[in-house]
A and B are shown apart, each in its own frame.
Chain A
Amino acid sequence: SQQGEEDPQALSIQEGENATMNCSYKTSINNLQWYRQNSGRGLVHLILIRSNEREKHSGRLRVTLDTSKKSSSLLITASRAADTASYFCATARTGGGNKLTFGTGTQLKVEL
């Protein structure tokens, strides 16, 4: 079963705008990660946030984690056409031996 569900399934924005995508999960976690997948390619790790952290930044990425609501959000600021990709959240469940469970993904399209 899918641990993570992402919202929205698809998002289309103009270059320069911010993109926000959300991830909800079901069980207690050790950490939550976000990955990017360009069309026809493998996944690339973007950022990891641990269960005792609430917010983390990396360049134009900002991730928040609310363990009480079992949800996370990924914000991409000042988006670029090169940000066009699918974005997946992945959770490492508590007691899960660091195995990752992936969500269904958000397809982001950034138009010029």
Chain B
Amino acid sequence: NAGVTQTPKFQVLKTGQSMTLQCAQDMNHEYMSWYRQDPGMGLRLIHYSVGAGITDQGEVPNGYNVSRSTTEDFPLRLLSAAPSQTSVYFCASRPQGSDTQYFGPGTRLTVL
């Protein structure tokens, strides 16, 4: 199993541009989440999904959209990038009935 994969690893955007961060898992996990990690702030939950077709907001959802059309994929869309969205983004998944989350390697995003 590849586990949780994220693309791209690095991305530089200009203010106002849009883009999609990709996340995929091959473990058939029902639950998937997106976090952002900023210096000195730990990880904060952006959006999460409890299964295909079901998504909900986390702690810091503004400026981000998600969808979950399949169990495997959970893309995160930045609609109009802002410098405040400069961060490292992590995708995670976990199976139903387990509390352990499996993290992807992260995407480092810089918005100029």
Residues of A within 8 A of B (CB): 2, 4, 30-31, 33, 35, 40-45, 48, 88, 90, 92, 98-105
Assembly CA distance A42 to B9 (angstroms): 12
- A contact residues around B104 at 8 Å (CB): 42
Residues of A within 8 A of B103 (CB): 35, 42-44
Closest residue to A31 on the B side, CB-wise?
B99
B50 to chain A: closest residue by CB: A97
When the two chains form their complex, are residues B106 and A42 in contact, meaning their CB atoms are under 8 A apart?
yes
Looking at the assembled complex, report how far the CB atom of B33 sits from the nearest CB atom of chain A, in whole angstroms: 8
Q: In the complex the two chains form, is B41's CB within 8 Å of A104's CB?
A: yes
Measured between C-beta atoms, what is the minimum distance from B59 to chain A in Å? 8
- Check if B64 is an interface residue, CB within 8 A of chain A: no
